Copies of this chain bind each other. A is one copy, B any other.
Amino acid sequence: MKSKILLIVCDGMGDRLIDGRTPLEAAKKPNMDRISAKGINGIMDTVGVGIRPGSDTSHLSLFGYNPFEVYTGRGPFEAAGAGIEMKTGDIALRCNFATIKDGKISDRRAGRDEYGLDELSRDIDGMRIQGTELIFKRCKGHRAVLVLRGRDLSPCVSDTDPEKPEILYKKSTPLDKNPNSKKTAEILNEFTERTVKILSDHKINKERVKNRKLPANILLSRGAGVKPELQSLGERYGLRAACISATSLIKGVCRTIGMDVIEVDGANGHIDSNIHLKADAAIKALKDYDFVFLHIKGTDEASHDGNFNAKRGMIERIDNEVIRRVLQNSGDITIALTADHSTPINLKEHSADPTPIAILGDVRTDLVNSFSERDCSRGDIGRICGRDLMNILLDISNRARLFGA
């Protein structure tokens, strides 16, 4: 009677209107439409009505956790994504390799060029400042993680990442009166100064400049946080759960709530990712797991680049390479298709516009026959909060616990 559950999240897939239609409305996506037509549809505020979610807070919410209660910052999830086991008292931050020129940040991602970043990372890892150990580990692309391990640290410090180019990098400042926050900000600022010195003279950066690449000569950090104490998905729902994602932050969220992370070759989080292999991995994982979460990042990347056609193309690829495969090969399961948030093309940033959601399974099929933001909003699910999704999926798959008698 119980069915397996497959949750497919296309990152940032929701959008607003460009020339009267959203990328989803413009895309040819017969397989997504089949889910809508045979399923039940609605719209979802992943974190809350009018709340612009990050990818971490939205996914926490999609898995049933209240980010307003449990979110401690991006850093710890990046650390978990990078495979660093955080200890109580550790502070983790997400870092970017970036380019500084004439004192200003000229590129927040060092041209997204990965040349030599591994070597740079090795030379940065392992500093000690004010008796604190600094663990530095590179993730994909220009991304990295910094973990501060020592006594009397605090996550209440401001970011050094200004989050936009062409301005000075910021000094970290304490965000409260706790002396630990002052100490942590000092450590972070000294880390930044020391790394600027290490990086600016580094032979890798000389090679980068020689090869007309931007130098990776500063590290910008943000999202300081302690390890969140979260009940696992298994304890919470009795589910054996697996995650398939190329995105370190998302893998980190999933690891933190006890999901197994399945790695897929060629899955890179870009619009040229090997998503059909991710679909195959998900179908395979459904044999061993009760709940499989399949995350596809390309839609969000195209959105941040403001590229309507690329986003529409990515949606069509997902339709053909993921949804078609899943519908053909996964048998009698419960499937939910949605986005973690909207990333409107004209904004190039996350927005709080609700996302479409379609669920296929033992549901009361409604009248919607096309999967898009506006079509789904006329479906019988109505408008729900992301935090309720897991309970709905557990109910539809006949796995929900009875409350009362």
Chain A interface (Cβ < 8 Å from any Cβ of B): 1, 16-17, 20, 22, 43, 47-58, 67, 71, 73-74, 94, 222-223, 249, 344, 346-347, 349-353, 362-366, 373-374, 377-378, 380-385, 388-395, 398, 400-405
Contact A395 B58 (CB under 8 A): no
A398 to B16, CA, bound (A): 12
Closest to A401 in B: B52
A347's partner among B1, B22, B364, B382 (CB-CB below 8 A) is B1
Q: Using Cβ atoms and an 8 Å threshold, which residues of chain B touch A56?
A: 404-405
Q: How many angstroms from the CA of A223 to the CA of B349 in the assembled complex?
A: 46
Contact of A71 among B74, B347, B378, B404 (CB under 8 A): B404
CB-based contact A395/B52 at 8 Å: yes
* A377 near B382: Cβ-Cβ < 8 Å: yes
Taking a contact as CB atoms closer than 8 A, the residue among B74, B364, B405 that contacts A55 in the complex is: B405
Q: How far is the CA of A253 from the CA of B88 in the complex (A)?
A: 45
Q: When the two chains form their complex, are residues B43 and A380 in contact, meaning their CB atoms are under 8 A apart?
A: yes
Give the residue of B50, B74, B403 whose beta carbon is less than 8 angstroms from that of A404: B74
Chain A at the B interface: SS class: loop
A186 CB to nearest chain B CB (Å)? 24
List, in ascending order, chain B residues with CB within 8 A of A54's CB. 402-405
A403-B67 contact given A352-B392, A362-B16, A382-B377, CB 8 Å threshold: yes
CB–CB A391/B22 < 8 A? no
Known: A16-B363, A346-B362, A366-B374. A249 touches B405 (CB 8 A): yes
Which residues of chain B are near A347, meaning CB under 8 Å? Answer: 1, 398
Q: How far does the alpha carbon of A293 sit from the alpha carbon of B52 in the complex, in Å? A: 23
With A and B bound together, what is the CA distance between A73 and B403 in angstroms? 10
Q: Is the pair A351, B403 in contact by a Cβ cutoff of 8 Å? A: no
CA distance A67 to B404 in the complex (A): 9
Assess the A350–B50 pair: CB atoms within 8 A. no
Kindly state the separation between the CA atoms of A109 and B383 in the bound complex, as whole angstroms.
42
Question: Taking the nearest CB of chain B, how far is it from the CB of A301, in angstroms?
Answer: 16
Q: What copy number does this chain have within its complex?
A: 2
Which of the residues B55, B391, B405 comes within 8 Å of A49, measured between beta carbons? B391
Alpha-carbon gap, A366 to B377, bound state (A): 9
CB neighbours (8 Å) of A374 from chain B are 364, 366, 380
Instruction: Determine the residue in chain B with the shortest Cβ distance to A389.
Output: B50
Flag if B16 contacts A400 (CB, 8 Å).
no
Q: A380: nearest residue on chain B (CB-CB)?
A: B377
Min CB distance A303 to B, Å, is 14
Residues of chain B within 8 A (CB-CB) of A58 are: 404
Residue of B47, B48, B349, B402 touching A52 (CB-CB under 8 A): B402
- 27 A/B residue pairs, CB under 8 Å, sorted by A: A16-B363, A17-B364, A50-B389, A50-B390, A50-B392, A51-B400, A51-B403, A52-B400, A53-B402, A53-B404, A54-B402, A54-B403, A54-B405, A55-B405, A56-B404, A57-B404, A57-B405, A67-B403, A71-B404, A74-B404, A74-B405, A223-B405, A346-B362, A349-B402, A351-B395, A351-B398, A353-B395
A16-B362, A56-B404, A405-B94 known; A50-B377 Cβ under 8 A: no
Q: Given contacts A51-B400, A67-B404, A352-B395, could you give 4 more A-B pairs where the C-beta distance is less than 8 Å?
A: A50-B388, A52-B403, A364-B373, A377-B382
Q: Which one of B17, B223, B395 lies within 8 Å of A365 (CB-CB)? A: B17
**A279→B144 CA distance, assembly (Å):** 53
